[in-house]
Structure 1
Amino acid sequence: MMTMQTESPAQLDHLCVESTQPAVLARFYRDLLDCDESVVEQGFLMRGPRRAVLIRPAPTCGLAYAAYRLRDGNDLEKLRSRATAHGVACEPLHDPLFEQGAFAVADPQGRRTAFGVSCGTPARRGAPARLQHTVYQTTELEQIVRFYVEKLGFSISDEVVSESGGASVVFMRSDDEHHSLAFFKGSRNEWDHHCYETNEWNDIRDWGDRFAAAQIPIFFGPGRHGPGNNLFFMVTDPDGNRLEFSAELQSVSADAAPGVWPEGERTLNSWGRAWMRS
């Protein structure tokens, strides 16, 4: 089966986040994540080295869309054609970080995902942390995973399976990295977290020291995930959005069969205690 990994590889490029306190949230990403701040029509554009966040005012907080970049216009058209052929509406999207021609799709529960070609904004200085994946909770895991795999072309890297035999977590990739998207089965439909991939363990240490100096506590980790085998810890921003910092995420070949893991704390953190969704 043709997939994004083989036909039109994509990487998570930026997020569009809605906030009831956009100026406060912008200050967090400016000061803690080394992002330059600029005012755009819908709020703030925060850009750091290999990471960016659009922040716009809204009555509630959450993720408006996650934006994936493709290599060029040819790959973007391949993906658009695939989505359209599977009955997925591709809504034209104006985004300051994408060239003209970007589009967004909505999954069966209304989550929006954008795809486009980067404008090629210049790299900025700052601590290493590449925006790498985003994760959601869903009440309809099987239906949602089927949408992203069958209609868009994501590939399943690993599944976490409960004692009853059903999947409780699914990790999906859009290029060679273990996952750029994942879903946990839960009682709510909400944004779970997003992740920044660093270069090595010492970067994890340095980011931990940075948040400690700002009196922002780690709420999960440090540890090592089973699926993906990456080192990690998590903190929250002023809106309560969860940020993960990771290192050593696995690569997965296009022909690899999905892995299967037992549901439990040691799967989510082989070093010890885990944050278990419900």
Structure 2
Amino acid sequence: MQTLQTSTPARLCYLHLASKDAQRQIDFYRRMLDMDSQAQADGSWVLSGPQRAMLVSPADHSGLLAAAFDLGNQPRLQALRVRLLGNGGIIEEVDSPLLEPGAFLIRDPQGRQTIFGVARPARQTSRPGMPGRLQHVVFQTTELEAMIDFYVNTVGFTVSDNVVDEQTGQLMTCFLRSDDEHHTLAFFRGSKNEWDHHCYETNEWNDIRDWGDRFAKERITIFFGPGRHGPGNNLFFMVVDADRNRLEFSAELEVTDASRQPGVWAQEEYTLNSWGRAWIRS
């Protein structure tokens, strides 16, 4: 079976956020994540920093509108388009200031939008920035099995690890990869259908320390971590942005061979944080 990892590797390249207070949100990412901003004709803003980018659109609500993946080149993008159509996927054309012409999106059964395209060359900036590559996005869902079926069998993600309730045997969490990194997408079973968090991958433990110090200076409190996840084996901590969206900083995320079989973990605090207490979704 062809997968994203084996035939058309895809890397998360930007998020499109809606914001009820767009200027406050833009100011947060400019100040805290070293991102420059540029107004667009449609009223949205492009934010860009070292290996990270996003679109922010003013709206009557706040949250995630779409997650965009970079295929690296046009032949890979075209091959993915053909495969998605062959798998019964319905695609919609996308015009994005961050992607070359030819980008498209696909909607999952609950309406989430995933964009695929080829990233435009990063804007040149003299502004220094701390390391933190936009790396993964995570959701909560009331229909976990349906989401996994769609993203694996229609889109081509690969399951890296499953988290299972040992008493009931019910699947609780699934980590999915689109390239050699342990996950670029994950789903938690929850009582809501909502965006859970997004993550920036740093280079090493000292970067985690430095990001923590930066948020401490602004009196932005870590609400989960620091610790180490079981699935993915990465160091991490989590904070919230100006709209209370959750963001994670990570280091040492597992690199995963295509032949690796999915792992199985128990649904317990130790799985989500081997160093101590964990945030358990409900």
Q: Do the structures match in fold with TM over 0.5?
A: yes
Q: Aligned pair 1:149/2:158, yes or no?
A: no
Alignment of 1:42-53 (within 5 A): 42-53=43-54
Q: Distance in 1 between matches of 2:122 and 2:31?
A: 20
Q: For 1:141-176, what per-residue CA distance to the aligned partner results, in whole angstroms no more than 9, with x for missing partners? A: 000010000001000000000121121000000000
Alignment of 1:1-278 (within 5 A): 1-40=1-40, 41-122=42-123, 124=125, 125-163=128-166, 164-278=168-282
Q: Distance in 2 between matches of 1:81 and 1:182?
A: 25
For residue 225 of structure 1, report the CA deviation from its aligned partner. Answer: 0.1
Q: Distance in 1 between matches of 2:71 and 2:47?
A: 21
For residue 37 of structure 1, report the CA deviation from its aligned partner. Answer: 1.0
Indicate how the Cα distance of structure 1 residues 123 and 11 shifts in structure 2: closer, same or farther if over 3 A, else same. farther
Contact 2:165 2:172 in 1 (8 A): yes
Q: Distance in 1 between matches of 2:52 and 2:155?
A: 24
SS of alignment partner, residue 76 of structure 1: helix
Moved over 6 A (4+): none
Q: Distance in 1 between matches of 2:101 and 2:43?
A: 18
Unpaired segments ≥5 residues, structure 2: none
Q: Distance in 2 between matches of 1:250 and 1:6?
A: 17
Q: Output the amino acid matched with 1:128.
A: P
Q: Distance in 1 between matches of 2:61 and 2:72?
A: 33
Q: Distance in 2 between matches of 1:191 and 1:56?
A: 17
Q: Distance in 1 between matches of 2:180 and 2:43?
A: 33
Q: For 1:77-112, what per-residue CA distance to the aligned partner results, in whole angstroms no more than 9, with x for missing partners? A: 111111111111110001100000000010000000
Contact 1:50 1:123 in 2 (8 A): no
Q: Distance in 1 between matches of 2:44 and 2:110?
A: 26
Contact 1:28 1:237 in 2 (8 A): yes
Contact 1:196 1:246 in 2 (8 A): yes
Unpaired segments ≥5 residues, structure 1: none
For residue 122 of structure 1, report the CA deviation from its aligned partner. Answer: 3.3
For residue 121 of structure 1, report the CA deviation from its aligned partner. Answer: 1.7
Q: Distance in 1 between matches of 2:9 and 2:124?
A: 21
Q: Distance in 2 between matches of 1:94 and 1:198?
A: 30
Q: Distance in 2 between matches of 1:67 and 1:250?
A: 22
Q: Distance in 2 between matches of 1:122 and 1:188?
A: 37
SS of alignment partner, residue 223 of structure 1: strand
Q: Distance in 2 between matches of 1:67 and 1:12?
A: 6
Indicate how the Cα distance of structure 1 residues 185 and 194 shifts in structure 2: closer, same or farther if over 3 A, else same. same
SS of alignment partner, residue 187 of structure 2: strand
For residue 44 of structure 1, report the CA deviation from its aligned partner. Answer: 1.3
Q: Distance in 2 between matches of 1:123 and 1:271?
A: 39
Contact 2:91 2:106 in 1 (8 A): yes
Q: Percent identity?
A: 56
SS of alignment partner, residue 6 of structure 2: helix
Aligned pair count reads 278
Q: Distance in 2 between matches of 1:193 and 1:172?
A: 15
Q: Output the amino acid matched with 1:165.
A: G
Contact 2:5 2:258 in 1 (8 A): yes
Q: Distance in 1 between matches of 2:219 and 2:238?
A: 14
Q: Output the amino acid matched with 2:30.
A: R
Contact 1:49 1:123 in 2 (8 A): no
For residue 123 of structure 1, report the CA deviation from its aligned partner. Answer: 5.2
